[in-house]
Amino acid sequence: MTTSLTSVPAAAAVLPAVELDYVASCELPMPWAKFRLHAFTEPATGKEHVAITLGDVANGEPVLARIHSECLTGDALFSLRCDCGPQLEAALQKIAEEGRGALFYLRQEGRGIGLVNKIRAYQLQDAGADTVEANEALGFKPDQRNYRLCLPMLQHLKISSLRLMTNNPRKITAMEQLGLKVVERVPLVITHNPFNERYLATKAGKLGHLF
- Cα atoms in the Cβ-side hemisphere of radius 13 Å centred on 68: 26
The annotation status of 166 as a binding-site residue, yes or no, is yes
The annotation status of 111 as a binding-site residue, yes or no, is yes
Starting from the edge strand earliest in sequence, which strands make up the sheet with 3-7, in order?
Answer: 3-7, 18-29, 34-42, 47-54, 101-106, 63-69, 161-165, 181-186
The annotation status of 109 as a binding-site residue, yes or no, is yes
Angle of CA points 191, 91, 206, to nearest 5°: 55
CA 92 to CA 90: how far, in whole Å? 6
The annotation status of 110 as a binding-site residue, yes or no, is yes
The annotation status of 100 as a binding-site residue, yes or no, is no
* Catalytic one of 143, 148, 163, 198: 143
The annotation status of 87 as a binding-site residue, yes or no, is yes
Please enumerate in sequence order all residues whose Cβ is within 8 A of that of 158, keeping only pairs 6 or more positions apart, or say none: 57, 58
CA 82 to CA 79: how far, in whole Å? 7
The annotation status of 70 as a binding-site residue, yes or no, is yes
- The answer to whether 56 is a known catalytic residue is no
* Catalytic one of 75, 83, 130, 145: 145
The annotation status of 49 as a binding-site residue, yes or no, is no
Residue ranges at the known binding site:
66-71, 82, 84, 87, 109-111, 131, 166, 171
Residue ranges at the known binding site for GTP:
66-70, 87, 109-111, 131, 166, 171
Residue ranges at the known binding site for Zn(2+):
71, 82, 84
Q: Which residues are catalytic?
A: 143, 145
